[in-house]
Amino acid sequence: MLKGKRLTVSTLLRSYRRPIALTWVLTLIETALTALTPLFIGFAIDGLLERRMTELYGLASVLGGLIVVSVIRRIYDTRVYGTIRVDLGNELTGRSARIPISTQNARLGMSRELVDFLEQEAPALIASTVQLGVSFLVLFLFDPILAYSALVSAILMIAVYSVFHQRFFRLNASFNQQSEQQVNILELRSQKEIFSHLSKLRRIEVQVSDTEAFVYGAIYTVLMGFLIFNLWFAATNLTATVGTIFSIISYSWEFVESALLLPMTLQGWSRLSEIMRRINKAN
């Protein structure tokens, strides 16, 4: 299915669109049920305080459906993406016959990250997008101010990441370039060369980690400010029940968790973009 095609995420999506589409449909269902859970918890709290069981039964139904769908999705995902990894690795090695074994070995490992993105990051991005939308809508229904504060925090978060996007790309390129030399260096059986190689990898990893720490520290600051504001606003400016305040805080926190996935996915895409450029090179 991949014969003669450029090896990219979009190629994998087109070549395996039906099985991947089914995994994403299951992801959407799972996400929708997850997103509804805090709202149903709030309903259940208010219902139980008034000695009603109906809302609790509704919550139990949502949680039961969530368990069934999540188990089915994970069983199916493993088989689908395992097959794609085999096909991609087989095609890549077939094209790399004239490339040094060290480079071939590194690129084979890198190619698996394309499938990892489809299996892990892409569904997580879908889930976070849905949860962001649901959280924004629910917060807007409670009070537009709550939703607008979420929107402002999301814009600030993306702005912080965009400043560092090119740095992540450059560091990933340096790391992959060094990784491609690993087998050749090991064949030299020189402790000095091996130490130098591992030290270079460590130095790049430290630079990536330091950049991540700064970026996520800034993003956490923005999102925690949003969460504290919504808690203050809900408690002091709204006439709401205990269940309603719980739902507001739950959806505000859900917005924070979902928003944090966006820069993580963008960072993953920075690395993936460099890998796709690298594995499609002729040498």
Instruction: Render pLDDT for 5-37 as a digit per residue (tens, 0 to 9).
Output: 888 888 898 899 999 999 989 988 888 888 788
Amino acid letter, 177: Q
Contact 114, 272 (CB under 8 A): yes
| Residue 180 C-beta-side C-alpha neighbours within 13 Å | 17
Judge contact between 185 and 197, C-beta under 8 A: yes
Contacts of 182 (CB under 8 A, 6+ apart): 102, 105, 106, 197
Give me the pLDDT at residue 275, please: 86
Residue 1 lies in a domain: no
The domain spanning residue 243 has which CATH number? Answer: 1.20.1560.10
Model confidence band, residue 64 (pLDDT cutoffs 50, 70, 90): very high
What's the number of domains the chain is made of? 1
Distance (Å, rounded) from C-alpha 70 to C-alpha 32? 12
Helices (H), the chain: 9-15, 17-49, 54-95, 101-116, 122-142, 144-179, 182-188, 191-237, 242-279
Place of tokens 């099985």: 19
Q: What confidence score (pLDDT) does residue 75 get?
A: 92
Mean per-residue pLDDT of the chain: 85
- Number of continuous H segments (helices) and E segments (strands) in the chain: 9, 0
- Does the pLDDT of residue 185 top 90, yes or no? no
**pLDDT category, 283, cuts 50, 70, 90?**
low
Residue 263 lies in a domain: yes
- SS3 for 112-126, per residue? HHHHHHHHHHHHHHH
Percent of the chain having pLDDT more than 90? 15
Asked if the model's pLDDT at residue 165 lies above 70, the reply is yes
Please, what's the b/e burial string for 188-222 (b: 16 or more CB within 10 A of its CB; e: otherwise)?
Answer: eeeeeeeeebeebeeebeebbeeeeeebbebbeeb
Rounded Cα–Cα distance for residues 161 and 108 (Å): 29
Q: What is the mean pLDDT of residues 144-162?
A: 88
Q: What's the CA gap between 20 and 259, in Å, rounded?
A: 24
Q: What is the mean pLDDT of residues 188-192?
A: 85
Q: Is 3 inside any structural domain? A: no
CA distance 187 to 155: 49
**Residue 221 structural domain:** 9-279
Least confident of 95-99, 107-111, 177-181, 245-249: 95-99
Considering the domain boundaries, does residue 27 fall inside one? yes
pLDDT of residue 145: 92
Query: pLDDT class for 253, splitting at 50, 70, 90?
Result: confident
- Region 147-174 average pLDDT: 87
- Residue 219 is encoded by which pair of tokens? 């993003």
Q: What is Dmax (Cα atoms) for the chain?
A: 76
DSSP state letter for 99:
S
Predicted pLDDT at 99:
80
Residue 164 has pLDDT above 90, yes or no: no
Determine the length of the chain: 283
pLDDT of residue 255: 85
In a domain, 106, yes or no: yes
CB hemisphere CA count around 83 (13 angstroms): 11
pLDDT attached to residue 282 = 61
Helix (H, G, I), strand (E, B) or coil at 2: coil
Q: Is residue 159 part of a domain?
A: yes
CA 216, CA 213: separation in Å to the nearest integer? 5
196 within domain boundaries: yes
At residue 98, does pLDDT exceed 80? Answer: no
Token pair for 210: 């330091």
Nearest CA to 109 out of 167, 182, 174 is that of: 182
